[in-house]
Amino acid sequence: MIDRGIAVHILNMGLLDNTPASKLVRNIFFAFAEFERDMIVERTQEGKAIAKQQPNFKEGRPHKYTKKQMDQYNY
């Protein structure tokens, strides 16, 4: 966006345009966003590993209908 001449105005920071200082701030924001995404993935994987140790663990989304209900609707 900024390469096309679009400026981003952040209320408590001011204008982010194509200046070196704005590029630095933008890169810091991108780095923090990437870090946070990596942390979310790591926490999710750790949580799934802990959950898999439980005897009643079932991966994936629970079935909305029981087998009996499905058999009733399948002619």
pLDDT tens readout for residues 21-49:
888 888 898 999 999 999 999 999 999 99
- Higher pLDDT: 70 or 53? It is 53
DSSP state of 53: T
Q: Is the pLDDT of residue 75 over 70?
A: no
AA letter at 59: E
d(CA 71, CA 65): 10
Q: Is the pLDDT of residue 1 over 70?
A: no
